[in-house]
A and B are shown apart, each in its own frame.
Chain A
Amino acid sequence: MSSRRVVLNFPPHLIDQPITYHLIRDYDLKVNILRARITPNEWGQMVVDINGNGENLERGLAYLAETGVVVQPLDREVRWLEDRCIQCSACVAHCPTQALTVDRATMAVAFHRDRCIACELCLNVCAYQAMEMSF
């Protein structure tokens, strides 16, 4: 199994095409949509996590490029600096993907890197500079 986190940029004429469907059916890939912004007649953008066997993954990405989707790696990453975190949970209500969560029994805060879409919303919320953008 391999996985890749990428930004898919759809030109306007592809917006109504069932591209994700093909990716899933024809290449046997698991596509997890982390964030999507699709407006008719404009370039659309989707942040996805694609999982599958390595060969299928490469073929799927090649298919995307062929159809005209511009594929970019998700190069920004938000890191949680655990030793700077005071576990206040202020960030949790702002995170759209539950990448930051609280164990309600202990009130311990945890960061789930795999769910983070680098939206940066938590950066301004954390008073202790425990959430950091890295490129």
Chain B
Amino acid sequence: MAKTIAEINDKIRQGKAVVCTAEEIIPLVRQKGLKQTAATVDVVTTGTFAPMCSSGAYFNLGHTKPRIKMGGGRVTLNGIPAYAGFAAVDLYMGATALAEDDPRNKVYPGRFLYGGGHVIEDLVAGRDVRLTVNAYGTDCYPRRSLDAWVRLADMNEAVLFNMRNAYQNYNVAVNLGEKVLYTYMGVLKPRLGNANYCTAGQLSPLLNDPLYRTVGVGTRIFLGGGQGYVVAHGTQHNPGVPRTAGGVPRVPAGTLAVMGDLKQMQARWLRGASFTGYGVTLAVGLGLPIPILDEEILAAAAVSDEELVAPVVDYSQAYPNCQGETLGEVTVAQLKSGEITVAGKKVATAGLSSYTKAREIALILKEWIVSGSFLLTEPVAPLPGPASGYAVKPFQERPWTPSPETV
């Protein structure tokens, strides 16, 4: 029995929609079967809460008296440089930005205690943040410097705009080398000391709609504790990868670009993170609702950790040198058991993505839909799918050489 999004929205408005999380739907489908469950359940909610480096926020601060042109000048928020290559008072703060005087990895491994991700968390928490501006001054924007407190509530627009979130599947990181590695996948002990994974598995947004049948441009989502939108496929979107029989990618594949009003969001769902020896980033909470329009969509949303696989990658050689080799596949169920076997050795696993927070997000989104405060959206355009030919490319390095005249 096929449904439409408009029909589901009518049920949501009447308070009659039946909503399950991507975890709750698994035993339900096992008990009642696809047909009966698809007839009763309207929406499956997903969630993920994990570090997502290609995140950031843009701000419009309002005009000072006299006016100042931040564009082309130097701007910092709590000492962290913001990108100001726009008009007078628009800024972008990226999650991984660091203060100019941060020691970085000079004393290895660096601690990276504060950066762009933390600025975003502080602003969302309602804290005052120190703004400094050095401008060059023009006839129309005469002011040259500014040192003042700013806060989210006083800004015009404050918008989270993340160019790549919600990676569909991700590597399991191990270290075959002889020394400790400090990576964006956490601290990796030598000689297969641990295996770090980053997925919400059966709760993960794009693993539950693996062929992008319902998610698309304009899809309303849970973002950072508020309501946001999918604006497009994210950077490095790579749908044409090998997939399981259920259509789920066996390696990292699709991604989402998302945005949402930062003023609605909560600091508990946008957390600055400090990865020793690597840098700072932002942990983002994101939840995608999946309208159950037919049995096929339900079958995909009922996927369980036992059916999801991730590639094991060595971060001492293969990853840094971009060699693309893997050490095999493991299931998410194995990863969550606390131990996997790699090259015949038992290796303890550790997560980077919070499964309990993912579950909480899926439950909040469910509650919003059940209570009628969150309506589903029709996608304005689809995301590039597996057959689209859309693919990620490596960097084509054409080394710069000076021209004869300049030598």
Contacts and interface: CB of A to CB of B under 8 A. Distances in A.
A86 B271 contact: yes
A91 B194 CA distance: 11
B276 A86 contact: no
A87 B109 CA distance: 23
A107 B336 contact: yes
B357 interface: yes
Interface stretch (A55-63, A69-77, A112-120, A121-129): A121-129
A94 B338 contact: no
Given A104-B336, A129-B274, A91 B350 contact: yes
Nearest to A124: B276
22 contacts: A87-B354, A88-B50, A88-B351, A88-B354, A90-B187, A91-B350, A92-B348, A92-B350, A93-B193, A93-B349, A93-B350, A104-B336, A104-B338, A107-B351, A107-B356, A108-B356, A124-B109, A124-B111, A127-B283, A128-B271, A128-B283, A129-B113
B283 A89 contact: no
B349 A90 contact: no
B38 interface: no
Contact of A125 (B187, B353, B354): B187
A102 interface: yes
A88 B352 contact: yes
Contacts of B336: 104, 107
B22 to A, nearest CB: 14
Given A93-B349, A107-B356, A128-B273, 20 more contacts: A86-B283, A88-B351, A88-B353, A89-B350, A89-B351, A89-B354, A90-B350, A90-B351, A92-B348, A93-B348, A94-B189, A104-B336, A104-B337, A104-B338, A106-B356, A125-B186, A127-B273, A127-B275, A127-B276, A128-B271
Interface of A: 86-94, 102, 104, 106-109, 124-125, 127-129
A90 B273 CA distance: 13
Interface residues of B, number: 33
B81 interface: no
A44 to B, nearest CB: 26
Contacts of A124: 109, 111, 187, 276
A89 B335 CA distance: 12
Interface in B166-204: 186-187, 189, 193-196
Nearest to B182: A124
Contacts of B275: 127
Contacts of A94: 187, 189, 194, 350
Interface string B105-139: 00001010100000000000000000000000000
A92 B353 CA distance: 13
A127 B357 contact: no
Interface in B43-91: 49-51
B355 interface: yes
Would you list the 10 A-B pairs with minimal beta carbon distance, nearest first?
Answer: A107-B355, A93-B350, A93-B194, A127-B273, A89-B351, A93-B348, A124-B276, A87-B356, A86-B354, A87-B354
B51 A127 contact: yes
A87 B355 contact: yes
Nearest to B276: A124
